[in-house]
Amino acid sequence: MSKIRLSPIVRSFLLLPVIAILGGCASLLSSAATGLADNLSLAILNQDDPETVRAGAPSYLLLLDSFVEGSPDDPDILAAAATLYATYGAVFADEEIRASRLTTRARRYALKAMCESYSRACGWPDANYDEFVATLDGIGPKKAEYLYTYGFASLAFLRAHSSDWNSLAELPQIEALFNHYLNISGDAVNSSVYTYMGILLTLRPPALGGEPERAREYFEKAISLTDGQDLGAKVEFARGYARLLYERELHDRLLNEVVAADPYQDGYTLSNVLAQQDAASLLAEADDYF
């Protein structure tokens, strides 16, 4: 079985929630430490050397574990831990076993956060599609961020376990989850969700249920909302939509725009550097693909 094409997400826009992680941690600390935590989150996202983040982030995994040990029922702490574990496991864990271990913990924390804030979510691991979707209606705007975290951690988990057929079976549930998130989030929506939806709708060709034209709308929405500053959205547009439909001109245009862009955008620098690496690789292999 071929692997689920979720690995691209982790190279670019999965990094964006880091600012929410450490910003959330700030609320757990004293007010005197709030500014430090906020500055640290921005420093990570604006770092142009991914290896520095790879080396430094594990310290914060352990810090968040200690927060969970002290407050195991606090959904905010659990969600923060889930997000960082999912991000690190998906982006920086090169070994399959390690990625599996880290993202499994991420999803466990995310499920616990949902369960503590919404009791019907406790049964999600054993729910079929209809049962899962039936529970979503009870989740309102106040719980939107916990829902987003669970979806985010689930995508990282599914990518790390992509050789398992059960991963494919869960994709419709994650799509339904993000659809509900979009319905309840209003102006507070995280723009990266539009990229997630674009990817989910292009995992399969049209003959097997894929919806590339809807996906294109989501990719374009993600690009528009960030004024093109999130280069990862363009990479996924090229990889997911243009390659699926063999649109070479669109593919190369998007990727050349990424390579030529200034990656130094506040809050996007780290993800943009990784996106440019991906764009260069995709362009290099384009003649073999098309």
pLDDT at 11: 42
pLDDT band with cut points at 50, 70 and 90 for residue 283: very high
Distance CA(150)–CA(1), nearest Å, equals 26
Q: Note whether 212 and 250 are within 8 A (CB).
A: no
Share above pLDDT 90 across residues of the chain, in percent, rounded to a whole number: 53
CATH architecture of 7-289: Alpha Horseshoe (1.25)
- Name the amino acid, one letter, at 186: G
64: pLDDT strictly greater than 90: no
pLDDT at 195: 92
pLDDT digits (tens, 9 = 90+) for 137-154: 999 999 999 999 999 999
Who's near 98: CB < 8 A, 6+ residues apart? 89
Q: Note whether 77 and 28 are within 8 A (CB).
A: yes
Task: Spell out the domain ranges in the chain.
Answer: 7-289
Q: What is the mean pLDDT of the chain?
A: 84
Distance CA(141)–CA(129), nearest Å, equals 22
Q: Tell me the mean pLDDT in the region 160-185.
A: 85
Angle subtended by helix axes 58-70 and 18-28, to nearest 10: 40
1: pLDDT strictly greater than 50: no
